[in-house]
């Protein structure tokens, strides 16, 4: 059977599974819609959290970035993995004990202010829409290649699917759909990685295969071979870094603290019964995430080596079928500048004739390695599972921010539960349409767009959440001022250097040499400083709020907190 036939079969089966789960677990109350009724088991929640966490950026784009950036791409691995540990250990148990549905709910109650809640809702919407744009772009990429439709049509198909199970099932439907999606995406990521590792090095463990010798009898190590191929073409050595230490540090920090402020991941910890279960599910999710994150660098090395070997100095007419299929999507572009019929793939932009979108590396990897058609189709199903699982979680954050935090808590406190549920579903529908627009007109490749969302979360939520849990004297004036300044500074920098607003600027103009992906760290520091400064000149929080903060830090059964 052809790749397209296999794709229709595997994607059709997985979509039928997701829709079936959504119908079976549809939400009948606001509690089920927002937090799945609060009764999800730690294992199911761990799998759902892992799927929510491993978006199209993790599945499709992270290995693609590493395959092009080499050593420098490791900032995404360090930042996202470290961030999850930070979230699981530092914030999740305390937020679960506070017992609110959403991050704006926590901020609104902790800072005893409708203004704080509204600011938090605005921040949640900005972060979530930036993040979901990357997911919809990932969906469009997969559909455009494997169902052979254009990217825009692919985005629309993805919108319809995610709208169906997110609006019908709410968090309850999304949770059990994400359990299925984790199984699909991890199987789809690991199977081709194992195949190619055996093919190239004879080692069935991709993480070890990356550092093994090639099985061609030469005794050359795979990474040594890739370094040689890269330098021959004028690229820098794959295993050496080009970014400044400061930029690497700020990007890693922005991704870490951005993770700890991501509303769609935090809300997962409200779906379990007890604080203990929140800790358990966080630990399980970390193990499940590590399977993909430790394999991604190996996939990057395999894909880059195979890509260079396949295209460099080869006749265009001799290219395999996969090359022309990807050309149709305009994600691979060949321009024969010297009219010799051969592909010149080199670092020199004037001589280079091949442009490869880094987002295709994971999806094209099994085709480049000439794996069976069913494996190629499996990767397509996995990419869709990764993108749709995160998109659904983000849409729920958007809809609950509007229906619960704005409509019920600010504008219409007496709304009925049924009315609130309808408002949530309507908000999700509008959110899907806006997300689709961003998917069709994305601000960059998938992981770059997602990295900006982490910067925005770092700049806005992280200081407010950390100070809200660990500093009982932080007041509403400080928190509000900090969030406004943090997100404003990050948005300004992002719009200036990514979109050319405010006079634009090139890499040479970056402040202190820090990229837009890393500037969330600076904006976060600005948030902390402004919040603490404003707090010094304004009234302390009421005593009952300080008592709540004291209480959420005491483990259950620990007795009274002592003063010494």
Task: Please state, in angstroms and rounded to a whole number, the distance separating the CA atoms of residues 465 and 209.
Answer: 41
- Digit-coded pLDDT (tens) for 315-337: 888 888 888 888 887 778 888 88
* Average pLDDT rounded to a whole number, residues 21-37: 63
Task: Please state, in angstroms and rounded to a whole number, the distance separating the CA atoms of residues 318 and 63.
Answer: 27
pLDDT at 235: 84
Helix axes 275-311, 361-368, angle to 10 degrees: 50
Query: What's the fold here for domain 3-552?
Result: Sodium/glucose cotransporter (1.20.1730)
Task: Please state, in angstroms and rounded to a whole number, the distance separating the CA atoms of residues 534 and 307.
Answer: 54
Task: Report angle CA 422, 427, 430 to the nearest 5 degrees.
Answer: 130
* Element holding 354 (H helix, E strand): strand 354-356
pLDDT score of 102 more than 80: no
- Which of the residue ranges 146-150, 337-341, 353-357, 532-536 would you say has the lowest mean pLDDT? 146-150
Task: Tell me the H-state helices in 103-244.
Answer: 103-110, 114-146, 151-201, 206-209, 222-232
Task: Please state, in angstroms and rounded to a whole number, the distance separating the CA atoms of residues 138 and 124.
Answer: 21
C-alpha pair distances (Å), 319 with each of 326, 350, 511: 12, 23, 44
Of residues 23 and 193, which shows the higher confidence score?
Answer: 193
CA neighbor of 206 nearest in space, from 236, 186, 220: 186
> Residue-wise over 29-55: b if at least 16 C-beta within 10 A, else e?
ebbbbbbbbbebebebbbbbbbbbbbb
- Digit-coded pLDDT (tens) for 477-529: 999 999 999 999 998 998 888 777 787 777 778 888 888 888 989 999 999 99
> Is the pTM higher than 0.85?
no
Average pLDDT for the chain: 81
pLDDT at 322: 83
Q: Are 296 and 77 in contact (CB under 8 A)?
A: yes
pLDDT at 475: 92
């Amino acid at each position: 059977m052809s790749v397209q036939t296999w794709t229709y079969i595997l994607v059709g089966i997985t979509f039928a599974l997701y829709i079936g789960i959504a119908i079976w677990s549809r939400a009948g109350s606001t509690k089920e819609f927002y937090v799945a009724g609060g009764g999800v088991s730690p294992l199911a929640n761990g799998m759902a959290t892992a799927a929510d966490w491993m978006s199209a950026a993790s599945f499709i784009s992270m290995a693609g970035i590493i395959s092009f950036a080499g050593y420098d791409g490791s900032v995404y691995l360090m930042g996202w993995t470290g961030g999850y540990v930070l979230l699981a250990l530092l914030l999740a148990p305390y937020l679960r004990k506070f017992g609110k549905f959403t991050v704006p709910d926590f901020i609104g109650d902790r800072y005893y202010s409708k203004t704080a809640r509204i600011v938090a809702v605005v921040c949640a919407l900005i972060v979530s829409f930036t993040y979901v744009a990357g997911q919809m772009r990932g969906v469009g990429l997969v559909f455009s290649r494997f169902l052979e439709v254009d990217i825009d049509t692919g985005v629309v198909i993805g919108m319809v699917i995610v709208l169906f199970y997110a609006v019908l099932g709410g968090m309850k439907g999304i949770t059990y759909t994400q359990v299925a999606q984790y199984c699909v995406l991890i199987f789809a990521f690991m199977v081709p990685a194992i195949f190619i590792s055996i093919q190239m090095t004879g080692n069935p463990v991709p993480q070890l295969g990356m550092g093994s010798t090639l099985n061609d009898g030469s005794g050359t190590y795979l990474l040594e071979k890739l370094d040689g191929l890269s330098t021959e073409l004028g690229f820098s050595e794959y295993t050496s870094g080009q970014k400044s230490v400061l930029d690497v540090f700020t990007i890693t920090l922005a991704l870490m603290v951005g993770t700890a402020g991501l509303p769609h991941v935090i809300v997962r910890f409200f779906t379990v019964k007890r604080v203990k279960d929140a800790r358990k599910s966080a630990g399980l999710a970390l193990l499940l995430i590590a399977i993909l994150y430790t394999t991604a660098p190996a996939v990057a090395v395999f894909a880059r080596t195979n890509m260079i070997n396949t295209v460099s100095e080869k006749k265009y007419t001799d290219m395999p079928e996969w090359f022309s299929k990807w050309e149709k999507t305009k994600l691979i572009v060949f321009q024969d500048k010297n009219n010799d019929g051969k592909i010149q793939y080199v670092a020199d932009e004037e001589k280079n004739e091949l442009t490869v979108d880094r987002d295709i590396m994971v999806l094209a990897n099994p085709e480049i390695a000439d794996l069976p058609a069913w494996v190629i189709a499996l990767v397509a199903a996995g990419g869709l599972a990764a993108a749709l699982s995160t998109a659904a979680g983000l849409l729920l954050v958007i809809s609950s921010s509007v229906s619960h935090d704005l409509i019920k808590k600010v504008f219409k406190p007496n709304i009925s539960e049924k009315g609130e549920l309808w408002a949530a579903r309507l908000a999700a529908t509008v959110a899907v349409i806006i997300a689709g627009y961003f998917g069709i007109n994305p601000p960059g490749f998938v992981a770059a767009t997602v990295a900006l969302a982490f910067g925005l979360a770092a700049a806005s939520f992280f200081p407010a959440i950390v100070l809200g849990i660990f500093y009982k004297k932080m007041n509403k004036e400080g928190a509000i001022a900090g969030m406004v300044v943090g997100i404003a500074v990050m948005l300004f920098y992002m719009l200036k250097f990514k979109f050319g607003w405010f006079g634009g600027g090139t890499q040479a103009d970056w402040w202190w040499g820090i990229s837009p992906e890393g500037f969330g760290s600076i904006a976060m520091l600005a948030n902390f400083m402004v919040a603490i400064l404003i707090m010094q000149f304004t009234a302390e929080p009421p005593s009952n709020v300080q008592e709540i903060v004291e209480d959420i830090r005491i483990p259950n059964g620990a007795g009274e907190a002592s003063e010494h």
